[in-house]
Copies of this chain bind each other. A is one copy, B any other.
Amino acid sequence: MRCDVLAIGTELLLGQIVDTNSAWIGEQLCTVGIDTYDHRKIGDNLGRMVESMHDMLTEADALIVCGGLGPTPDDVTREAIAEVMGVELERREELIEHIAALFGIRQRDMPANNLRQADIPIGASAIPNPLGTAPGVRAEVAGADGRKRVIYAVPGVPYEMQQMVTDHVLPDLLELSGEQSVIMSRSLKTWGTSESGLAEMIAARVDAQQNPTIAFLARGIEGLYVRLTAKAASEEEAAALIEAEEAELRTILGDLVFAVDDETMEHAVIQRCCDRGWTLGVAESLTGGLVGARLADPPGASEVYRGSIVSYATEVKREVLGVTAENVVSKECAQQMAEGARRVLGADVGISVTGVAGPTEQGGQPVGTVFFGLSVPGAPPEAMEAHLPGDRFRIRQFATISLLNLVRLRLDALA
């Protein structure tokens, strides 16, 4: 089964918006075992849309068309599909009601243009859109070889598109493909080694394993993910396959794994503090507030995260945090900042980062030099030095996740 993707929108061609939808759809298709070989983007042009759909359906069994379902006259995906099917559009009463109801909820009048969103090619069906006014379209067309092809039109708004693909398009594709299996995947997120290093560590497992399959995803400063995808007759069987392989991989990867699936590094840190009933305070310098901003993000953060003293100026380090170290880019300073964070913020755990993000050296230290500090109950404060690559932006981002990872590892080591 092969399903390709056609993204619609002149703004995509002109770079006013980056098309992230087709990548997301490609990932979903891959996860459920459907091939995808050709993704295209074209402008809001009826002739080119019709031509592209015809052309793409000579190779693909199904086509997801993303965008062009809006209310304005330049949104012509509905018309293009009708032309490919060789039929007219018909206005559906029940869709008008759905759209009007959404406007009712929002206490606004419905512009007449929005009625166009209730138009569906005769013989096609509407795909429900609980999140917006644009219903999707599911249309069957006969290929040149007489075999049935399916076009799915989904909105260009990412969260509307994602819900529609997850709830309707993927299940329908799986049914069409005759695939009876359950497909399940899990991502182990790692931090602390290179892509080639990670690949080497688990090369034997990757070679040995057909089910679940093992794939790498490099996510830049968010780390390297190892994704397991299992196929089985039931959810229980798929889960058992994933769990068995996850256990094998965890034996090899150890504490490189910081989270699973939707969890993040900050979630890992908040969770560990929560488990001990500890609160957390931050003192940060070159990161400007990034560490605090991440720690405020996970659910449950307010139980743990007290706040952050962003001591960008040296005097703030001295006057607010009580730093006495002469060099503010040093281990001593990082330790004193961590202790200051605990004291000033009334936290059980204090963590800190100071360093040189550039563009020029500071305190005799070259760009990229960073010191992390940690102060926990019942132990002397510690500090670690790191040398981070990249420009100002990357150094600050790397410093942030590196500090959080360090805190995770140290809290685990306390046992």
CA distance A314 to B216 in the complex (A): 42
CA distance A52 to B79 in the complex (A): 26
Closest residue of chain B to A391 (Cβ to Cβ) is: B159
CA distance A14 to B215 in the complex (A): 11
Most B-side CB within 10 Å, residue of A15, A28, A305: A15
Copy count, this protein chain: 2
A91 at the interface (CB under 8 A from B): no
> What's the nearest-Cβ distance from chain B to residue A174, in Å?
18
Partner of A290, one of B28, B55, B293: B293
CA distance A217 to B282 in the complex (A): 38
A57 at the interface (CB under 8 A from B): no
Contact B18 A18 (CB under 8 A): yes
A1-51 interface (Cβ within 8 A of B) = 12-20, 22-28, 30, 36-43, 45, 48
A233-254 interface (Cβ within 8 A of B) = none
> What's the nearest-Cβ distance from chain B to residue A60, in Å?
12
Most B-side CB within 10 Å, residue of A38, A287, A312: A312
> What's the nearest-Cβ distance from chain B to residue A407, in Å?
16
CA distance A296 to B289 in the complex (A): 8
A117 at the interface (CB under 8 A from B): no
Contact A292 B319 (CB under 8 A): no
Contact A25 B30 (CB under 8 A): no
Which chain B positions have C-beta within 8 A of A282? 289, 310
Which chain B positions have C-beta within 8 A of A309? 307, 309-310, 320
Contact A15 B19 (CB under 8 A): no
Contact A320 B292 (CB under 8 A): no
Which chain B positions have C-beta within 8 A of A301? 312
Number of A positions contacting B (CB below 8 A): 70
Most B-side CB within 10 Å, residue of A40, A286, A289: A289
Chain A at the B interface: SS class: mixed
CA distance A55 to B38 in the complex (A): 13
Which chain B positions have C-beta within 8 A of A359? 299
Closest residue of chain B to A292 (Cβ to Cβ) is: B289
Contact A346 B316 (CB under 8 A): yes
CA distance A40 to B306 in the complex (A): 48
CA distance A284 to B30 in the complex (A): 42
A291 at the interface (CB under 8 A from B): yes
Q: Top 8 nearest A-B pairs by Cβ distance?
A: A288-B296, A289-B292, A15-B27, A289-B289, A289-B293, A308-B310, A15-B23, A15-B26
For the A-B complex with A13-B26, A38-B48 known, give 19 more contacts whose Cβ atoms are closer than 8 Å. Answer: A13-B30, A13-B36, A15-B24, A15-B25, A16-B215, A37-B45, A39-B41, A39-B42, A284-B289, A292-B310, A293-B293, A301-B312, A306-B312, A307-B316, A307-B320, A309-B320, A310-B310, A316-B346, A319-B346
Instruction: Name A residues whose Cβ lies closer than 8 Å to a Cβ of B.
Output: 12-20, 22-28, 30, 36-43, 45, 48, 52, 55, 215-218, 279, 282, 284, 286-297, 299, 301-302, 305-313, 315-316, 319-320, 344-346, 359, 393, 396
